Amino acid sequence: MADFFLGLPTAFGRGLTSGGWEQTSKIFSGYGQDTWRVTDRLTLTLGLRYEAHTPWVESKDQQVNFNPVTGQVEYAGKNGASRALYDSVYGGKAFQPRLGFAWTPGRLNGHTVVRGAFTVSDYLEGTGTNLRLPINPPFNGGAGSGEFQTLYPEHRPANHHVF
């Protein structure tokens, strides 16, 4: 860390924002809602969404992931690992409730409406830069790839030792 702060890096790595992979996934979802006028001044909207995502699978199984339970690197579709390398969420956790309201305070003579909403929502992970499993080494860069890492041995002081 001190080498970094002194401007004497020994290595530089960069993330990858694109790649030559093809991933597929499916989404199964449905939504229903209803609106109730509780009083002349209060309206409630209640809804429920079910959204289940199948895991992302790379067409040539070129993705890897680290399993913190076993301490091993897992390759898609190898040695008993699934092609996706993670499990999806189905059943009760895939339900996403929605609640909305519109309330007109009586003191303001109907000139103001206060609105609010609450929802439980999920967003499919792995859709941002550097979050896709096919980007992990060895398929698309990594510590052993010259594209990913550049060494700077000329910046090391003569008395620098690597242990």
Q: Is the pTM of this model over 0.95?
A: no
pLDDT at residue 150, rounded to an integer: 46
pLDDT at residue 27, rounded to an integer: 86
Which residue numbers in the chain have pLDDT < 50? 129-130, 142-152, 155-156, 162-163
Q: How far apart are CA 65 and CA 77, in angstroms?
A: 12
Q: How far apart are CA 162 and CA 142, in angstroms?
A: 20
Whether 122 and 95 have beta carbons less than 8 Å apart is answered as no
Residue closest to 58 by CA, chosen among 139, 138, 134: 134
pLDDT at residue 91, rounded to an integer: 79
Q: How far apart are CA 58 and CA 19, in angstroms?
A: 12
In angstroms, how far is CA 4 from the centroid of its own chain?
29
Q: How far apart are CA 157 and CA 128, in angstroms?
A: 38
pLDDT at residue 26, rounded to an integer: 86
pLDDT at residue 146, rounded to an integer: 44
pLDDT at residue 38, rounded to an integer: 96
pLDDT at residue 145, rounded to an integer: 45
In angstroms, how far is CA 16 from the centroid of its own chain?
16
Sign of CA dihedral 143, 25, 18, 126: negative
DSSP code, position 119: E
pLDDT at residue 140, rounded to an integer: 63
Q: Output the six-digit token pair for 11.
A: 């290595």
pLDDT tens profile 23-53 = 888 888 999 999 999 999 999 999 999 988 8
pLDDT at residue 24, rounded to an integer: 84
